[in-house]
Homo-oligomer: A and B are copies of this chain.
Amino acid sequence: MKTILLIEDNNDVRENTAEILELANYKVIQAENGKIGVELAAAHLPNLIICDIMMPVLDGYGVIHLLSKNVKTANIPFIFLTAKSERNDFRKGMEMGADDYITKPFDDIELLKAVESRLKKAELLKNDYSRDEAGINTFLDEAKSIQELKNLSDSAKVKLYRKKELIYTEGNNPNYLYLLQKGKIKTFRAHEYGKELIISLLNEGEFFGYTTLLDETPYNESAEALEDSSVVLIPKDDFYSLLNNNHGVMKRFVKLLSNEIQDKEEQLLKMAYSSVKKRVAEALLKLQLQYKKNAKENVAISISREDLANIVGTATESLIRTLSDFKHENLIEVKGSNISIIDTLAFEAYIKKYL
């Protein structure tokens, strides 16, 4: 439920107006003068403020001036409500940063429409972080954000990459946000002497190449197609302008990135202290999950020994030996380059017990 702060010295007008707003299902906080209004605004951070101009103690201009000096209240939509309908008053109010101006007497519809249009406009710019009203709401916001990102890809071009073809390489300057439409792609970083570490295996429908876009540096990873893939190239300027104009998308990215940081830290911890055997086992579980996501039922993990070693961060031979061990213990089944976990639960139990 949206909260509206109503600042008006005339009791009748205030209570009347509050009633209208409450009927429209807003929560209304009332203030009988500007001073109290400013305090209540800072305390409650309402979604919108309606304020009379002529008031004792502190007038409407004073209120908007004070509110605009406080970071927390500066961006709350502000509507002036006044008996004066003279042009100069109107201009003064707008210049001070008001968002709308309603002259008394006004009818219900007029007031409600003004409130709605300002709330809607504010909504466009920022989806409130701390005050998501429910899980569903948040979910919808996110769905919307993703949808807008996907919309971007409508206007973008699609490019086909053959197996083993490079999409971008370390040192290049990023020009696109990439969306994997079909196929499989790895992004990796190179260490000395040809060793590489796979940073991520992309599934269909996933975006990639955004970290470098966001911090505006050249790539320090490369991306390569693991099979024939089609990729949507979204021009970076389109991405930037969406990010700028839509707070929801930005918010979503902040979450995504923080999440990624935590994943990497977790990986780092494991890379430091878990044995190769454990890391391999966990990588297999993760991969199985990822392959399952695409195909509903359990699918074999299809990946070269070398790539798997590069995910785990170990020598190819060490990885192969580990796989052999698992095979001999009847934990996995190997057919060519396809690996499948025989019994996920048993495998997890084994990890817990012995690794």
Q: Which residues of A contact B (CB under 8 A)?
A: 45, 71-72, 74-75, 85, 87, 91, 94-97, 99-101, 103, 110, 113-114, 116-117, 120-121, 124-126, 128-130, 148, 151-152, 189, 191-192, 195, 197, 199, 210-212, 214-217, 220-221, 236-238, 240-247, 250-251, 253-255, 257-262, 264-274, 313-314
Contacts and interface: CB of A to CB of B under 8 A. Distances in A.
Contacts of A240: 129-130
A72 B242 contact: yes
A135 to B, nearest CB: 11
Copies in the complex: 2
26 contacts: A71-B148, A75-B246, A91-B110, A91-B114, A94-B114, A125-B125, A129-B240, A129-B243, A129-B244, A130-B237, A191-B269, A191-B270, A197-B272, A211-B258, A211-B262, A214-B254, A214-B257, A215-B259, A217-B262, A220-B262, A243-B254, A244-B247, A257-B261, A264-B265, A271-B271, A272-B313
Contacts of A128: 244
Contacts of A254: 214, 243, 250, 253-254, 257
Contacts of A259: 215
Given A71-B152, A72-B245, A87-B103, 17 more contacts: A71-B246, A72-B242, A94-B117, A97-B120, A130-B237, A130-B240, A189-B265, A197-B269, A212-B262, A214-B254, A215-B259, A215-B262, A243-B254, A244-B247, A253-B254, A261-B264, A268-B313
A97 B117 contact: yes
